[in-house]
A and B are shown apart, each in its own frame.
Chain A
Amino acid sequence: MKKIFNWMMIFAGVFAAQAVSAQVRPPLSIDVNYSVASPLGSLQDYSGKTSFRGWTAGLQYMLNDQFSVGLRTGFQDFNEKLPRAVYPDKLGDVSAVQTRTLQVIPIQATAGWAFTKPDKPVIPYAAVGVGVANMDYKKYWGEFVESDNSWQFMVSPELGINIPFGQASPVLFNANVRYNYSPYKMGDITNFNSLQYSVGFKFHLN
């Protein structure tokens, strides 16, 4: 009995909170961001250049003023071309111009917590995404390619801010920093680690 009562209280709280947040902006939002990502660790050894080709897109639902859940996807392209070098191998020495690429497409469920109420001019938040990522690995030796495509687990904690364009505006500017981790192993990559910086917009939908 007590359990049911507790659940009822929780639902009542959620709906009450929703009613309040609805006064500021509708609970459902979409967001689109441009992303720059720095490879870390073994990913940096494989393809060390900062990636300027990336984006993220997501869907979020505010359960109350501060807690939200959602879904998101995106794309990031790591790419580095190395000058001709000889790569010794136990089977031989290979002279090649290597182009090392990795394209990442995550699909994650998210949970977020805003540190302030939605009527504040700046809304800092923390979020975490958990899901999978498609890893498209292509290591070119000259025109010859070693390739691998697989789905991997990926977890991505994130810190960011939302800045509404006016107190009750349904449009918010978003900036965030996200750390991505995946236990992906391929060639020189022993784990996937990247730090991703994004800016974009969030639109609350009626």
Chain B
Amino acid sequence: MTPEESRIYITNHDSQANFKSYNTFSIVDSVAVLSNRNDTAKKALTDYDKQLISSVSQAMQSRGYTLVDKAAKPDLAVALTRIDNSFTNVAWNPGWWGGVWSPGYWGYPGGWYWPSYYVVYQVNEKQTAIDVFDLKNPNADNKYVSVWNALWRGSGVWNTDNVASMVQASFDQSPYLTNK
């Protein structure tokens, strides 16, 4: 099995969201690095992170969304997270976790969804997540709701050379993510 074959790309979306109702987006200027070993997220801007920001921005623009500054009240916010899990025998299932974000907080979405019926033999797994939040329609608690996300798992997901193809695959399998 090649590293490419080892990887899985999971995408989810809010089926209630109208992706044509959004016109602009803003993206984080650095990537949050989350490790459950110390429970604190750090921001990073490695070559990988720069490539990730650039590839995701291009993909969003190719779907008809205009990149604007955070101060320009964008319709969508794009968050990027690298996750470094150190736990073993993690159960997994791709799931819609419906993450929410507090206004003004460019952090990482809380709460990953791990149902218990699949067993994964994986230690020190690295993942990358892209989350798109709706800034136009905050929920009742005045938090932003995630409308789309992608999660990459497997060998080489933290390899800069793989970013473009992983972004491509994630968007390709999400044809609804467009305002065209």
Binding site for B on A (CB under 8 A): 84, 86, 89, 91-97, 99, 141-147
B93 close to A86 (CB less than 8 A): no
Docked pose: A20 CA to B69 CA in angstroms = 97
**In the complex, B57 has a CB within 8 A of chain A:** no
Docked pose: A122 CA to B100 CA in angstroms = 75
Binding site for A on B (CB under 8 A): 1, 5-12, 92-96, 118-122, 153-155, 169-170, 173-174
Chain B residue nearest in CB terms to A143: B6
Shortest 8 CB-CB distances between A and B: which pairs? A143-B6, A92-B12, A95-B9, A92-B94, A97-B5, A142-B8, A96-B8, A86-B173
- Majority secondary structure of chain B interface residues (helix, strand, loop or mixed): loop
B122 close to A143 (CB less than 8 A): yes
Other-chain residue from A86, A91, A142 in contact with B6 (beta carbon distance below 8 A): A142
Docked pose: A183 CA to B92 CA in angstroms = 27
Docked pose: A89 CA to B9 CA in angstroms = 13
A95 close to B8 (CB less than 8 A): yes
Other-chain residue from A92, A96, A145 in contact with B119 (beta carbon distance below 8 A): A145
B10 close to A142 (CB less than 8 A): no
Residue of B8, B169, B174 with highest tally of chain A CB at under 10 A: B8
CB distance from A18 to the nearest CB of B (A): 52
Docked pose: A145 CA to B91 CA in angstroms = 10
CB neighbours (8 Å) of B122 from chain A are: 143-144
13 other contacts beyond A86-B173, A92-B94, A143-B1, with CB at 8 A cut-off? Answer: A91-B12, A91-B94, A94-B9, A94-B94, A95-B9, A96-B7, A142-B1, A143-B6, A144-B120, A144-B122, A144-B154, A145-B118, A146-B119
CB neighbours (8 Å) of B169 from chain A are: 95
Docked pose: A145 CA to B118 CA in angstroms = 7
CB neighbours (8 Å) of B93 from chain A are: 91
CB distance from B59 to the nearest CB of A (A): 15
A143 close to B154 (CB less than 8 A): yes
CB neighbours (8 Å) of A142 from chain B are: 1, 5-8, 153-154
Contact flag A92-B8 (CB < 8 Å), given A86-B173, A145-B121: no
